Structure 1
Amino acid sequence: MSAVKPIIESIRNYILTCDFLKDGKVNVDYLPDEMSYSIDPIGGDPIYKRYTDGGCLKQFQFALTSKEAYDGDARTGIANSGFYQFFEEWIEDNNMLDIYPKLEGHTPVRVEIMQSGYLFSTEADLGRYQIICRLIYG
């Protein structure tokens, strides 16, 4: 049996093509105590839509999280929130151009934003931001 690339790896490779990612380092399920990004799978029903013939569309839900400089200054908050706005627009543009994660054994349909990016929590000098997404595939 040949190994098929996991969907999370395909999503990571897709996100790495985003040209305004600040340093290109994207972890999976790991966000160290420094400025960085992580793709975190979110549990949920894997079936997006079931058809009467027994077929279905599936979904893979995930959050793109980051730790960003956080100092309470409006300029810093605008820059951090702006990143997530631009990321959301990048996803939308890619959907319009049929640019999706490259899946093995599945056909991508679209990537959706389920919850816009927002400040999730704060620490001494870092803010944790996240945006919730899902990949729909057949």
Structure 2
Amino acid sequence: MLLYVSSTPVLMDEETLVDILETSRRNNARRDITGMLLYVEGNFMQVIEGPKNAILTLKETIANDPRHSGLIEILSTPVGERIFGNWSMGFRRAGWTDLDVNGMTRFLERPEPVADNDPSALRILKEFACSMR
């Protein structure tokens, strides 16, 4: 599993986000990748699950995508069972007020790498996933 944050050079409109989501879902299904993508006012937080080589290839693709800048890896760890296994890519567009998840408000403003046992960023995505069902 890979959990990262990145920023966009310009704010993305709905059409651009839908295009990213549709392309991601199509590609991820072929690569056995699942996950969750959160977009908040020019910032992405994403968890990617799947085979290690597929994750590493996707990470490189994202890092070289001009729509992303400043990719910061928050968590990279093997997992026994997928958290987002039913989704080729869950998605949520949110505002800062939506991020008040267990005291994690504004996490995306100043993300910092965390230890493997600190589930803060992953908890945010899990909360959003649960609220979407």
TM-score, structure 1 normalization: 0.34
Higher helix share: 2
**Greater C-alpha Rg:** 1
Q: Which has the higher contact order (CA 8 A, sep 6+)?
A: 2
TM-score, structure 2 normalization: 0.35
